[in-house]
Chain A
């Protein structure tokens, strides 16, 4: 593979030089790191990463190529991929394309040969920041100027870029229950998990008024994961509030969790460098057991802001004590910050889909 020189410039002015792969372009985004050892294809196609440049801390990326199974949305969502060593000669029985080919098809840039350890340490100490990946020949000053004009993540509604434009229906088996989904940037594996039950799913665009969901006469409501700042998704919070009031079972994951927390009067805040990886231990306070979880979020729910008279804290992150889940004391409402659908990551928390379907059945 021919190597073309490129660079990653951070808003603090630090420049990392490497070689480009994937689709050549200049690309700006919030630079975040993910500690998963595998699962790069799921990560780059996860809509929750929309607008971000993702660093993989595991240094060898591309080993098993890309396939038709590990796809979490219809396209690559990240603005760029930063790796230590891009491995072009992949080997796997499910593989179809190399990661380079896959990024080219999906018009996304990658940069390899970066000291991802130094870069990750910088982001851990200085916090997530914007960055730009570009061809080595482009003038640095010009790039930095462009970078500083790019929007910051806080206050940004990115959901509108990734939500479905039209609603659609999916079924499995002989559907006994109807579940209405708000798509804030849904991962395919959540749909796959739900379709293991006898359900009909109708997926609605994020901005749809809650009354349209009620017209569907759902037995349950699901609020999906998605990118950006939850506080910028005011319409999502309003709709969640109204649906919770209707006493229909509601389940939220990730951004869905944050919107539910806000709808119940809680607050969210931006984490310094976020949780992104497949090894976060979370304590389930209902069972006292530990789950190893898949995580991807830059914002968190402020535990102190939750009204403990109406809300039970169900899950806590053992790394930093941040909130990972809640349940309403009286109403059928549950949500988690992490990703029980995994993909990538461990399958320890799949029981949550069972728990929700039990709520729906009652």
Chain B
């Protein structure tokens, strides 16, 4: 299908100020989208309140408005610029929420502006957890047992039935703001009430806990002809319970057999069709029970997401650019592949390397009296991330740690550890097992510096099983780290 000629001017909504959970990744996607649409001859109008972005540079869009991203200002822009369509899938949750607000206030209808990239019904289905859960059950996929509640008394009933831990997720919030995991009734009450306050619809989802399960993401694309491709599979190093934005993630997925992976791919294909995203990219998250492989659908973002930037750079497939072209009517087989130029974009990238992303936290800058400030949970806390490439996991992982600018040269062995190698290996057996217990106890709670404590545990002779039972980090990853530690040990055996 050729591109649409009934559209002349397209409005793109940016993601606004940089906040935790929504940062420069949406500048990356938005800039790509503006360029892609201009390349096709459309007049592109942009709204973004954040001037410190590439996309708001004067030469990027045809008209740029640095105004608050609210329906009031967007309506004024619509009056003035008369766009035929709005592309709301490039500016994260902010843009999607703004578009839904425009729809609900009747502004889209009033000025006859169309949403492209994702339709109102699809956004609703993907974003409302209740509609999403119903949709998943309709297509035969499993979701976590859960319930939407609007007041605490309803929540209490559910907790009495399923027991703790329970996950609390407020609807329509950024980066999971206001969410948490409750291990007892006191925590539960406080988290549910906080969630109800945080949710613009006073709605909270309470869910059976999948803590400790494996977590996977698929970055997928679909066009109007129902062509479907997976751009990248991503496996979380950290198990369920840690927000994806706070997890170390690895592309491609490492620990699934092909049939297990294809089960996720088939599910993703069904999900994007059922939700009805016809022209663009989506991010779909799954949880897999490490004991038996039971697959649970966690959520779907019907837009370019944080992971899209990672997937684009990990594979060389420009997701935002292609998504923008799909939104104006092209099909995947009509868009040439950026790398080969001669083959179409309708393919699934394969790579011969490993990509590792590690989040970067800055708790020093966000000082708090709360000693649990750096505990990682369902609410994202990282302020950025690094990614690195390697011909194996260990290489990519080591490079990522160096890139974090924590002053670390890698996974230990740089003289900057809390417990030095010499200290840990000089301990008596008794002292070792005492410290090992302390380290394992610390590892029970996901924290920003846990990665280095995995090494201490290994140097204190904790077995892979012990560390797995404590952290639920897949043994494959733990063994990879153990191999790094073994090389360190070997090197200590030599003299200079």
Q: Do A and B bind?
A: yes
Known contacts A93-B291, A342-B262; decide if A64 and B350 are in contact (CB<8 Å): no
Nearest B residue to A38 via CB reads B258
A-to-B contact residues, CB < 8 Å: 35-39, 41-42, 57-60, 63-64, 67, 69-70, 84-85, 87, 89-94, 116-117, 120, 277-281, 283, 288-290, 292, 318-319, 342-348
> Which residues does chain B contribute within 8 Å of A87, judged by CB atoms?
476
A288: min CB distance to chain B, Å: 7
Q: How far is the CA of A285 from the CA of B227 in the complex (A)?
A: 13
Q: How far is the CA of A67 from the CA of B475 in the complex (A)?
A: 17
The answer to whether A59 and B354 touch across the interface, beta carbons within 8 angstroms, is: yes
The answer to whether B257 and A70 touch across the interface, beta carbons within 8 angstroms, is: yes
CB within 8 Å of A: which of B370-393?
A: 391-393
Q: How far is the CA of A235 from the CA of B354 in the complex (A)?
A: 46
The answer to whether B257 and A94 touch across the interface, beta carbons within 8 angstroms, is: yes
The answer to whether B259 and A59 touch across the interface, beta carbons within 8 angstroms, is: no
Q: How far is the CA of A68 from the CA of B392 in the complex (A)?
A: 27
What are 5 of the A-B contact pairs (CB < 8 Å)?
A38-B258, A42-B258, A87-B476, A93-B292, A319-B343
Known contacts A93-B290, A318-B344; decide if A64 and B349 are in contact (CB<8 Å): no
> Which residues does chain A contribute within 8 Å of B200, judged by CB atoms?
none
> Which residues does chain B contribute within 8 Å of A60, judged by CB atoms?
254, 354, 392-393
Nearest B residue to A85 via CB reads B392
Contact check: which of B256, B347, B476, B479 meets A292 at CB < 8 Å? B347
Nearest A residue to B340 via CB reads A319
B228-263 CB mask vs A (1 if < 8 Å, else 0) is 111001000000000000000000111111111110
Contact check: which of B346, B350, B474, B475 meets A277 at CB < 8 Å? B350
CB within 8 Å of A: which of B388-443?
A: 391-393
Q: How far is the CA of A288 from the CA of B346 in the complex (A)?
A: 13
The answer to whether A94 and B347 touch across the interface, beta carbons within 8 angstroms, is: no
The answer to whether B259 and A63 touch across the interface, beta carbons within 8 angstroms, is: no
Nearest A residue to B343 via CB reads A319
> Which residues does chain A contribute within 8 Å of B230, judged by CB atoms?
292
The answer to whether A64 and B257 touch across the interface, beta carbons within 8 angstroms, is: yes
B355: min CB distance to chain A, Å: 12
Contact check: which of B227, B256, B393 meets A38 at CB < 8 Å? B256
> Which residues does chain B contribute within 8 Å of A318, judged by CB atoms?
333, 343-344, 346-347
The answer to whether A92 and B349 touch across the interface, beta carbons within 8 angstroms, is: no
The answer to whether B260 and A94 touch across the interface, beta carbons within 8 angstroms, is: yes
Contact check: which of A85, A89, A344 meets B258 at CB < 8 Å? A344
- Best-buried of A91, A277, A344 by chain B (most CB within 10 Å): A91
Number of A-B contacts (CB under 8 A): 131
Q: How far is the CA of A346 from the CA of B259 in the complex (A)?
A: 9
Nearest B residue to A87 via CB reads B476
Asked if B201 is an interface residue, CB under 8 A from chain A, the answer is no
The answer to whether A281 and B347 touch across the interface, beta carbons within 8 angstroms, is: yes
Asked if B41 is an interface residue, CB under 8 A from chain A, the answer is no
Interface residues of B, dominant DSSP: loop
> Which residues does chain A contribute within 8 Å of B259, judged by CB atoms?
69-70, 343-344
Asked if B364 is an interface residue, CB under 8 A from chain A, the answer is no
Asked if B357 is an interface residue, CB under 8 A from chain A, the answer is no
> Which residues does chain A contribute within 8 Å of B116, judged by CB atoms?
none
The answer to whether B352 and A58 touch across the interface, beta carbons within 8 angstroms, is: yes
The answer to whether B350 and A345 touch across the interface, beta carbons within 8 angstroms, is: no
Which 10 A-B pairs rank lowest in CB-CB distance, beginning with the nearest? A39-B258, A344-B258, A89-B479, A91-B476, A279-B348, A38-B258, A91-B475, A290-B227, A290-B346, A281-B347
A198: min CB distance to chain B, Å: 22
B457-470 CB mask vs A (1 if < 8 Å, else 0) is 00000000000000
The answer to whether A345 and B257 touch across the interface, beta carbons within 8 angstroms, is: no
Q: How far is the CA of A348 from the CA of B266 in the complex (A)?
A: 8
B316-358 CB mask vs A (1 if < 8 Å, else 0) is 0000000000000000110000000001101111111110000
Contact check: which of A59, A70, A279 meets B352 at CB < 8 Å? A59
Contact check: which of B293, B346, B350, B475 meets A37 at CB < 8 Å? B350
B32: min CB distance to chain A, Å: 22
Contact check: which of A84, A280, A281 meets B392 at CB < 8 Å? A84
Known contacts A281-B344, A281-B347; decide if A93 and B476 are in contact (CB<8 Å): no
> Which residues does chain A contribute within 8 Å of B293, judged by CB atoms?
93-94
Q: How far is the CA of A116 from the CA of B261 in the complex (A)?
A: 23
Having A91-B476, A279-B348, A288-B225, one finds 6 other A-B pairs with CB under 8 Å, namely: A58-B352, A84-B392, A92-B257, A92-B260, A93-B291, A290-B225
The answer to whether A292 and B225 touch across the interface, beta carbons within 8 angstroms, is: no
Asked if B226 is an interface residue, CB under 8 A from chain A, the answer is yes
> Which residues does chain A contribute within 8 Å of B226, judged by CB atoms?
289
> Which residues does chain B contribute within 8 Å of A345, judged by CB atoms?
258, 262
The answer to whether A41 and B257 touch across the interface, beta carbons within 8 angstroms, is: yes
Q: How far is the CA of A288 from the CA of B1 in the complex (A)?
A: 11
Known contacts A37-B252, A38-B258; decide if A117 and B476 are in contact (CB<8 Å): no
The answer to whether A59 and B391 touch across the interface, beta carbons within 8 angstroms, is: yes
Q: How far is the CA of A343 from the CA of B392 in the complex (A)?
A: 25
Q: How far is the CA of A85 from the CA of B293 in the complex (A)?
A: 26
> Which residues does chain A contribute within 8 Å of B393, judged by CB atoms?
60
> Which residues does chain A contribute within 8 Å of B257, judged by CB atoms?
38-39, 41, 64, 67, 69-70, 92, 94
Q: How far is the CA of A280 from the CA of B257 in the complex (A)?
A: 19
B293: min CB distance to chain A, Å: 5
Nearest A residue to B393 via CB reads A60
The answer to whether B229 and A35 touch across the interface, beta carbons within 8 angstroms, is: no
Nearest B residue to A43 via CB reads B258
Asked if B265 is an interface residue, CB under 8 A from chain A, the answer is yes
The answer to whether B292 and A59 touch across the interface, beta carbons within 8 angstroms, is: no
Q: How far is the CA of A58 from the CA of B254 in the complex (A)?
A: 11
The answer to whether B392 and A279 touch across the interface, beta carbons within 8 angstroms, is: no
CB within 8 Å of A: which of B65-117?
A: none
Q: How far is the CA of A38 from the CA of B255 in the complex (A)?
A: 9
The answer to whether A346 and B392 touch across the interface, beta carbons within 8 angstroms, is: no
Nearest A residue to B227 via CB reads A290
B362: min CB distance to chain A, Å: 32
Contact check: which of A93, A289, A344 meets B227 at CB < 8 Å? A289
Q: How far is the CA of A70 from the CA of B226 in the complex (A)?
A: 29
Q: How far is the CA of A318 from the CA of B253 in the complex (A)?
A: 26
Contact check: which of B225, B258, B289 meets A70 at CB < 8 Å? B258
Q: How far is the CA of A37 from the CA of B251 in the complex (A)?
A: 11
The answer to whether A57 and B258 touch across the interface, beta carbons within 8 angstroms, is: no
Known contacts A91-B255, A281-B344; decide if A63 and B333 are in contact (CB<8 Å): no
> Which residues does chain B contribute within 8 Å of A277, judged by CB atoms?
350
> Which residues does chain B contribute within 8 Å of A42, judged by CB atoms?
258
Nearest B residue to A65 via CB reads B257
Nearest A residue to B391 via CB reads A59
Nearest B residue to A70 via CB reads B257
Q: How far is the CA of A87 from the CA of B349 in the complex (A)?
A: 23
Q: How far is the CA of A60 from the CA of B346 in the complex (A)?
A: 26
CB within 8 Å of A: which of B440-489?
A: 474-476, 479
A72: min CB distance to chain B, Å: 11
Nearest A residue to B390 via CB reads A59
Contact check: which of A35, A89, A92, A116 meets B350 at CB < 8 Å? A35
Contact check: which of A57, A90, A290 meets B476 at CB < 8 Å? A90
A175: min CB distance to chain B, Å: 26
> Which residues does chain A contribute within 8 Å of B258, judged by CB atoms?
36, 38-39, 42, 70, 278, 343-345
Known contacts A70-B258, A91-B255, A92-B255; decide if A36 and B350 are in contact (CB<8 Å): yes
> Which residues does chain B contribute within 8 Å of A58, judged by CB atoms?
252, 350-352
- Best-buried of A117, A120, A290 by chain B (most CB within 10 Å): A290
> Which residues does chain B contribute within 8 Å of A85, judged by CB atoms?
391-392
B383: min CB distance to chain A, Å: 30
